């Protein structure tokens, strides 16, 4: 068991925010077909409610991610760690940009591309995050 200290809080907050950003997107995708049956405005209302949770979580991910970087003695890590971290940060950016594009798009194609980028980027960042910590 790791000590009960600030490092534990750092990882806890990072993982908590990841569960909301990543898990929330998959949950939303899963419930949208049902929500559509509640009326023409229902999906947009649920999506707006989700955004009010998801974007603060993304902010916490970036803040605690920077906190992670300050704590891990990055210079002592092997090249493989730096490569995985670089790819993870590209995926984080893709996830954030994809989600933002999804929020503002009006066309079905742009909505689908933005949504896919948000989900795939988030999943990849989650996978590499667990690998980095491992």
Out of 20, 28, 118, 122, which residue is the one contacting ligand HEM (CB under 6 A)? 122
Please give the angle made by the CA atoms of 24, 29 and 31, to the nearest 5 degrees: 95
Structure tokens at 46: 């649920």
Handedness of CA 60, 66, 69, 70 (dihedral sign): negative
User: Residues 86-115 vs ligand HEM: string with x where CB under 6 A?
Assistant: ------x--x--------------------
Per CB under 6 A, the segment of 25-33, 34-42, 64-72, 110-118 that binds ligand HEM is 64-72
Out of 29, 44, 66, 87, which residue is the one contacting ligand HEM (CB under 6 A)? 66
Distances (CA, A) of 59 to 42, 89, 98, 110: 26, 14, 15, 24
CA 54 to chain centre: 8
Out of 72, 100, 101, 113, which residue is the one contacting ligand HEM (CB under 6 A)? 72
Out of 54, 61, 99, 117, which residue is the one contacting ligand HEM (CB under 6 A)? 61
Out of 21, 99, 102, 118, which residue is the one contacting ligand HEM (CB under 6 A)? 21
Cβ atoms of residues 98 and 121 within 8 Å: yes
Please report, as ranges, the residues that interact with ligand HEM according to CB under 6 A.
11, 14-15, 18, 21-22, 61-62, 65-66, 68-69, 72, 92, 95, 122, 125-126, 129-130, 132-133
């Amino acid at each position: 068991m790791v000590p009960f200290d600030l490092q534990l809080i750092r990882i806890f907050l990072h993982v908590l925010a990841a569960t909301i950003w990543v898990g929330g997107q998959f949950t939303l995708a899963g419930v949208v077909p049902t929500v559509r049956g509640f009326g023409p405005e229902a999906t947009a209302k649920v999506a707006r409610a989700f955004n009010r949770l998801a974007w603060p979580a993304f902010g916490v991910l970036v803040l605690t991610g920077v906190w992670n970087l300050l704590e891990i003695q990055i210079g002592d890590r092997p090249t493989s760690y730096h490569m995985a971290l670089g790819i993870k940060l590209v995926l984080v950016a893709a996830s954030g940009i994809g989600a933002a594009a999804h929020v503002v798009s009006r066309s079905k194609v742009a909505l689908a591309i933005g949504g896919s980028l948000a989900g795939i980027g988030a999943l990849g960042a989650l996978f590499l995050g667990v690998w980095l910590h491992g």
